[in-house]
Amino acid sequence: MKRQFSTGLLAILLLCTSCVRPNKTNPSRLDLIQKRGELKCGVSGKIPGFSFLNSDGQYQGIDVDICKAMAAAILGDGKKVIYRPLTAPERFTALKTGEVDLLSRNTTFNLSRDAIGGNGVTFGPVIFHDGQGLMVKKRSGIEKIDELINSNICVGSGTTTEQNLNDTFQELNIPYTPIKYQDLNQVIAGYLQGRCKAMTSDISQLAASRSSFPNPDGHIILKKVISKEPLAPASIDGDPLLSDAVRWIIYALIAAEEFGISQNNIDQKLIEAKSNPNFVSIRRFLGIDGDLGNKLGIANDFVVKIIRSTGNYGEIYNRHLGPTSRVPIPRGLNKSYKDGGLLIAPPLK
């Protein structure tokens, strides 16, 4: 008995000491994606306009197009994406364990999530400036937040939404009861069934879910925006090769709009730039001159590949959230800085 025990102990000691050294030559996930030939992208899959299954069983939305742009830049083909629908609580774990390469899932960029002592992921540039709001039924007559005193409010658990709600109501000294569900669809069901007077989420999500209600006009989103919600894609910490690629692929989408380069005119612009050596910045941007793409470890003409696949940021926005889309959300803060918005790309030099 004693001998068996000590043998076992020896075995476990040997095994532990021999391999608890982390792999020193940690390959970048960028190489891994290129080797695999496919990009694994974590999305929500439940928010129209951001990521949603269309009637053909294909994911579509602004978050989905970010995945496509990434795949186009890294692999040369925007279709080489495997989508993984993730719930809010599982998203960071999925990213950290390598289940997905990129998290493009309406995720708010904040300190705790970025920091090593928090969720420890690395965020790309903001792709959508959102804010949290509250939606109520029109016939309730509620117009201001303080009219929600002592009400039930439906909220999704495991999100910043829950914290913001609490912070706001605590600061305003309004007592309330949160009814928490794990899933946005349950939040909607709870709200529509009348369990709560109001439901809260990012305004984009409120608008998106309202669009699928039986009677969208019967619900109003309160004017007061209770938080900043800059939504950004995220990649794993400690992988600068991948996070740099994510950052500049998104800046390229924004810069393309600044340059006026779109899916329709990309071929024409390419011919113009090739024949005219004076178009210095556009030639560099499109990879005719210089080595911008090579510096990132991806194709030198990655911008051309992205634009062919998804178009520039403005085109992506209009396709999914524009006035003629199913989920119209005014562009507001998400306009280019040239039009008075917040989107600006540092120079691609």
Partner 1 sequence: MRRLKKITIQCIIGIIFLSIISLFINNLLINISRSGMEFSFSWLNQTAGFALAETSIPYQPSDSYSWALLTGWINSLKVIIYSLILATIIGTIAAISRISSNILLQKIASLYVAIARQIPLLLQLMFWYFVAFLNLSSTPLKLFDSLILISKEGISLFGLELTVEFTALIVGLSIFTGAAIAEVIRGGINSVGKGQWEAYRSLGIQDYLGLRRVILPQALPAIIPGLTSQYLNLAKNSTLAIAVGYSDLYAVSDTSITQTGRAIEGFIVLLISFLLLNLLITNTMEIFNKLIMRYNHHE
- CB atoms near residue 224 (< 10 Å): 15
CB 35 within 8 A of CB 80: no
State which of residues 36, 137, 195, 331 lies at the interface with partner 1 (CB under 8 A): 195
Considering the rule CB under 8 A, would residue 158 count as an interface residue with partner 1?
Answer: yes
In sequence order, what are the residues at sequence separation of 6 or more whose Cβ sits closer than 8 angstroms to the Cβ of residue 44? 50, 51, 63, 85, 86, 105, 106, 184
Between 56 and 171, CB nearer to partner 1:
171
Helix (H), strand (E) at residue 320 = helix 313-321
Between 22 and 340, CB nearer to partner 1:
22
In sequence order, what are the residues at sequence separation of 6 or more whose Cβ sits closer than 8 angstroms to the Cβ of residue 318? 324, 325
Range 256-315, binding partner 1 (CB under 8 A): none
| Strands 39-43, 177-181: pairing kind | unpaired
Q: Identify the residue whose tokens are 């090593």.
A: 116
Quick one: tokens of 125? 């540039």
State which of residues 35, 139, 171, 194 lies at the interface with partner 1 (CB under 8 A): 194
Considering the rule CB under 8 A, would residue 240 count as an interface residue with partner 1?
Answer: no
- Residue 114 CB, nearest approach to partner 1 (Å): 10
Considering the rule CB under 8 A, would residue 149 count as an interface residue with partner 1?
Answer: no
CB 91 within 8 A of CB 105: yes
CB 44 within 8 A of CB 50: yes
- Residue 120 CB, nearest approach to partner 1 (Å): 6
Range 42-101, binding partner 1 (CB under 8 A): 88-89, 92-93, 96-97
* DSSP track, 175-222: --EEEEESSHHHHHHHHHTTS-SEEEEEHHHHHHHHTTSS-GGGEEE-
State which of residues 54, 58, 166, 265 lies at the interface with partner 1 (CB under 8 A): 166
Helix (H, G, I), strand (E, B), or coil: what is residue 21?
A: coil
Between 11 and 344, CB nearer to partner 1:
11
Considering the rule CB under 8 A, would residue 36 count as an interface residue with partner 1?
Answer: no
x/- track of binding to partner 1 for residues 107-136 (CB under 8 A): -----xx--x-xxx----------------
**Number of chain residues interacting with partner 1 (CB under 8 A):** 51
Considering the rule CB under 8 A, would residue 178 count as an interface residue with partner 1?
Answer: yes
Considering the rule CB under 8 A, would residue 12 count as an interface residue with partner 1?
Answer: yes
Between 54 and 166, CB nearer to partner 1:
166
Report how far residue 44's alpha carbon sits from residue 34's, in angstroms, rounded to the nearest whole number.
24
Considering the rule CB under 8 A, would residue 8 count as an interface residue with partner 1?
Answer: yes
Give how far the C-alpha of residue 211 lies from the chain's centroid of Cα atoms, to the nearest Å. Answer: 20
Report how far residue 129's alpha carbon sits from residue 201's, in angstroms, rounded to the nearest whole number.
14
Report how far residue 158's alpha carbon sits from residue 116's, in angstroms, rounded to the nearest whole number.
19
Between 175 and 332, CB nearer to partner 1:
175
State which of residues 177, 275, 278, 324 lies at the interface with partner 1 (CB under 8 A): 177
Q: Which residues bind partner 1 (CB under 8 A)?
A: 3-4, 7-8, 11-12, 15-16, 19-20, 22-23, 26, 88-89, 92-93, 96-97, 112-113, 116, 118-120, 152, 154, 157-159, 162-163, 166-167, 170, 176-182, 186, 189-190, 193-195, 236-238
